Structure 1
Amino acid sequence: MSKRQGAKREKPIKYFDYSLLFIIIFLVCFGLVMLYSTSSYNGEVKFGDAAFYLKKQLFATVLGLIAMGMIANIDYHVWMRFGKAAYLLALALCVSVIFIGTTVNGSKRWLRLGPLSFQPSDFAKLCVIIFLATMISRMPKQMGKFSTVIRVVVMVLPLVAVVAINNLSTAIIILGIAVALVFVASPKYLQFFLMGGLGVGFGAAFIMFESYRAERLKIWLHPEDYDKGYQTLQGLYAIGSGGLFGKGLGESMQKLGFVPEAQNDMIFSIICEELGLFGAICVILLFLLMIWRFMVIANNAPDLYGALIVVGVMAHVAIQVILNIAVVTNTIPNTGITLPFISYGGTSILFLLSEMGLALSVSRGIKLEA
Structure 2
Amino acid sequence: MLLVVIGLVLLYSTSSYNGQVKFHDPYHYLKKQGFATILGLAGMFAVAGIDYHKWVPLANLGYLTAVLLSVAVIFVGDEYNGSKRWLSLGPVSFQPSEFAKVAIIFFLACLVTKHVKTMGKFSTMIRVMLPVFPIVGLVGASNLSTAIIILGIAAVLIFVASPKYLQFIAMAAAAVGFLGIFLALESYRLERLAIWRNPEQYEKGYQTLQGLYAIGSGGLFGRGLGESVQKLGFLPEAQNDMIFSIICEELGLVGASLIVLLFLILIWRFFVIATQAKDLLGALIASGAMAHMMIQVILNIAVVTNTIPNTGITLPFISYGGTSVLFLLLEMGLVLSVSNLIK
Give your verdict on TM over 0.5: yes
CA distance in 2, matches of 1:42, 1:155: 41
Equivalent residue pairs, number: 343
Query: Tell me, which stretches of 5 or more residues in structure 2 are unaligned?
Result: none
2:183 aligned residue (204, 207, 218): 207
Q: Determine helix, strand or coil for the equivalent of 1:147.
A: helix
User: What letter matches 1:39 in structure 2?
Assistant: S
Shift of 1:150: 1.4
CA distance in 1, matches of 2:230, 2:107: 42
Tell me which residue corresponds to 1:132. 108
User: What letter matches 1:118 in structure 2?
Assistant: F
Tell me which residue corresponds to 1:303. 279
TM-score (norm 1): 0.92
CA distance in 1, matches of 2:121, 2:257: 41
1:195 aligned residue (159, 168, 171): 171
- Structure 1 stretches of at least 4 aligned residues deviating more than 4 Å after TM superposition: none
User: What letter matches 2:66 in structure 1?
Assistant: A
Q: Determine helix, strand or coil for the equivalent of 1:192.
A: helix
Greater mean deviation of Cα atoms: 78-87 or 245-254: 78-87
User: What are the within-5 Å matches in structure 2 for residues 36-75 of structure 1?
Assistant: 36-75=12-51
Tell me which residue corresponds to 1:4. none
Is 1:324 equivalent to 2:293 in the alignment? no
Is 1:282 equivalent to 2:285 in the alignment? no
Shift of 1:187: 3.4
CA distance in 2, matches of 1:145, 1:275: 50
Is 1:86 equivalent to 2:54 in the alignment? no
Greater mean deviation of Cα atoms: 136-145 or 344-353: 136-145
Tell me which residue corresponds to 1:108. 84
User: What are the within-5 Å matches in structure 2 for residues 209-288 of structure 1?
Assistant: 209-288=185-264
Q: 1:87, 1:131 within 8 Å by CA — same for their partners in 2?
A: yes
Tell me which residue corresponds to 1:163. 139
User: What letter matches 1:225 in structure 2?
Assistant: Q
User: What letter matches 1:26 in structure 2?
Assistant: L
CA distance in 1, matches of 2:132, 2:64: 10
Q: 1:143, 1:187 within 8 Å by CA — same for their partners in 2?
A: no
Greater mean deviation of Cα atoms: 151-160 or 34-43: 151-160
Deviation string, structure 1 residues 153-198 (Cα, Å, up to 9, x no partner): 1111011001111111111111111111001111312110111111
Q: CA RMSD in A?
A: 0.6
More RCO (CA 8 Å, sep 6+): 1
Bigger-Rg structure (1/2): 1
User: What letter matches 2:75 in structure 1?
Assistant: F
Q: 1:300, 1:366 within 8 Å by CA — same for their partners in 2?
A: yes
Tell me which residue corresponds to 1:344. 320
CA distance in 2, matches of 1:346, 1:297: 27
Query: Tell me, which stretches of 5 or more residues in structure 1 are unaligned?
Result: 1-24
Tell me which residue corresponds to 1:175. 151
